[in-house]
Amino acid sequence: MPDKGSAGSGLKWLWLSAVIIILDLATKAAASQAFKLYEKMPLIPGWFNLTLAHNNGAAFSFLASESGWQRWFFALVAIIISSIIIFWLKKTPSNERWLAIALALILGGALGNLWDRLTLGYVVDFLDFYYQSGARELHWPAFNIADSAISIGAVMMVIDAFRNKSAER
């Protein structure tokens, strides 16, 4: 069981959140300057394009076709989740490094996408993975660095939950 003196040290991982935010905003700005909306540049033909897409919704364009209320709803959700994560990081013991990194990744991604929502009204996406077989293309929804950080952090949290269950046995 971790000692009480190690609580709060999870905040030292906020630098990772800052790195994610900076990388995310810089790459979104570069994509926005380099491409017209929905323009594509194949990097690995049949597998990967750079593109420019604007997502008014959440993951997989969930609620993107709504009238605009979703912008503020998703912004509020991001603010609430970010606040919870900061509190969680503050309480995370120093020996829980994996969990702290996962939380920092999710926080950085949430704040990167929140910035877009508040300043632009949509989230900029530019990474387009797909599979092409003949004339048929199957695309994964376009995403960005923030989305990647959130996904990696979430997977790390699931792994952490299983690791901790195994350790308890």
pLDDT value of position 139: 87
Is residue 71, in this structure, part of any structural domain at all?
no
Is residue 36, in this structure, part of any structural domain at all?
yes
Is residue 73, in this structure, part of any structural domain at all?
no
Is residue 120, in this structure, part of any structural domain at all?
yes
Specify the number of domains making up the chain.
1
Is residue 23, in this structure, part of any structural domain at all?
yes
Taking the C-alpha atoms of 141, 57, 152 and 49 in order, what is their torsion angle to the nearest 10 degrees?
30
Instruction: Decide if 125 is catalytic.
Output: yes
Among the listed residues 24, 116, 128, 147, the single catalytic one is 147
Is residue 88, in this structure, part of any structural domain at all?
yes
Is residue 46, in this structure, part of any structural domain at all?
yes
What domain range includes position 44? 7-61+81-137+147-168
pLDDT value of position 164: 72
Q: Nearest CA to 109 among 20, 30, 28?
A: 20
pLDDT value of position 7: 55
pLDDT value of position 127: 98
Among the listed residues 24, 125, 128, 160, the single catalytic one is 125
Counting every residue written for the chain, the total comes to: 169
Residues of the chain with pLDDT under 70: 1-8, 57-69, 165-169
pTM metric for this prediction:
0.87
Is residue 93, in this structure, part of any structural domain at all?
yes
